[in-house]
Structure 1
Amino acid sequence: MRKIGILGGMAPESTVEYYRIITTLCRQRGMGHRYPVIIIYSLNFHEFISLVESGNLPEVTNLICDAINSLSEAGADFALVASNTPHIVFNEVAARSPIPLLSIVDETGRVAKNLGFTRVGLFGTKFTMQADFYSNALSTKYGISVVTPQKADQDYIHHKIMTELVDGCIIEETRQELSRIARMMADKRGIQALILGCTELPLILSEEVVGIPLLDTTRIHAEAALNFSQSSSSSV
Structure 2
Amino acid sequence: MRTIGMLGGMSWESSAEYYRLINEGSRGRLGGHRTVPTVLFSVDFAEVAAMQEAGAWGQAGEFLADAARRVQQAGAELIVLCTNTMHQVADTIEKAVDVPFAHIVDATAQRIAAAGHRKVGLLGTRYTMELDFYRARMRDLHGIEVVVPAEPDRSLVHDVIYRELTRNRVEDGSRAQYVRVIRELADRGAEAVVLGCTEITLLIGPEDSPLPLFDSTRLHVEHVLDLALS
TM-score of the pair, normalised by structure 1: 0.95
Number of residue-to-residue matches in the alignment: 230
- What CA distance in whole angstroms lies between the structure 2 residues aligned with 1:207 and 1:33? 30
- What CA distance in whole angstroms lies between the structure 1 residues aligned with 2:228 and 2:76? 10
Q: Aligned with 1:48: secondary structure?
A: helix
Query: Once the two structures are superposed, what CA deviation does each residue of 1:181-219 show, in whole Å capped at 9, x if it has no partner?
Result: 101211x10101111111111111111111211110110
Residues 3-22 of structure 1 correspond to what in structure 2 (within 5 A)? 3-22=3-22
Q: Aligned with 1:33: secondary structure?
A: coil
Aligned-residue CA RMSD in angstroms? 1.0
Residue aligning to 1:128: 128
- What CA distance in whole angstroms lies between the structure 1 residues aligned with 2:203 and 2:111? 21
- What CA distance in whole angstroms lies between the structure 1 residues aligned with 2:118 and 2:40? 35
Q: Aligned with 1:207: secondary structure?
A: coil
Query: Once the two structures are superposed, what CA deviation does each residue of 1:165-195 show, in whole Å capped at 9, x if it has no partner?
Result: 1111111110111011101211x10101111
Residue aligning to 1:146: 146
Residue aligning to 2:172: 172
- Is this contact kept in 2: 1:124–1:157, CA < 8 A? yes
Q: Aligned with 1:151: secondary structure?
A: coil
The one-letter amino acid of 2:135's match is S
Residues 1-236 of structure 1 correspond to what in structure 2 (within 5 A)? 1-186=1-186, 188-231=187-230
Please report how far the alpha carbon of residue 30 of structure 1 lies from its aligned counterpart in structure 2 after TM superposition: 4.5
Q: Aligned with 2:79: secondary structure?
A: strand
The one-letter amino acid of 1:162's match is Y
- Is this contact kept in 1: 2:65–2:92, CA < 8 A? no
Please report how far the alpha carbon of residue 29 of structure 1 lies from its aligned counterpart in structure 2 after TM superposition: 2.4
- What CA distance in whole angstroms lies between the structure 2 residues aligned with 1:28 and 1:78? 20
Please report how far the alpha carbon of residue 92 of structure 1 lies from its aligned counterpart in structure 2 after TM superposition: 2.2
- What CA distance in whole angstroms lies between the structure 2 residues aligned with 1:209 and 1:159? 20
- What CA distance in whole angstroms lies between the structure 2 residues aligned with 1:28 and 1:99? 25
- Is this contact kept in 1: 2:104–2:216, CA < 8 A? yes
Q: Aligned with 2:197: secondary structure?
A: coil
Please report how far the alpha carbon of residue 97 of structure 1 lies from its aligned counterpart in structure 2 after TM superposition: 2.1
- What CA distance in whole angstroms lies between the structure 2 residues aligned with 1:62 and 1:133? 17
- What CA distance in whole angstroms lies between the structure 2 residues aligned with 1:226 and 1:141? 22
- Is this contact kept in 2: 1:26–1:32, CA < 8 A? no
- Is this contact kept in 2: 1:180–1:210, CA < 8 A? no
- What CA distance in whole angstroms lies between the structure 2 residues aligned with 1:97 and 1:24? 27
Q: Aligned with 1:209: secondary structure?
A: coil
Please report how far the alpha carbon of residue 23 of structure 1 lies from its aligned counterpart in structure 2 after TM superposition: 1.3
Please report how far the alpha carbon of residue 220 of structure 1 lies from its aligned counterpart in structure 2 after TM superposition: 0.7
- What CA distance in whole angstroms lies between the structure 1 residues aligned with 2:204 and 2:168? 13
The one-letter amino acid of 1:61's match is G
Residue aligning to 1:234: none
- What CA distance in whole angstroms lies between the structure 1 residues aligned with 2:98 and 2:53? 27
Q: Aligned with 1:99: secondary structure?
A: coil
- What CA distance in whole angstroms lies between the structure 2 residues aligned with 1:137 and 1:14? 22
Runs of 4+ more than 4 Å apart: none
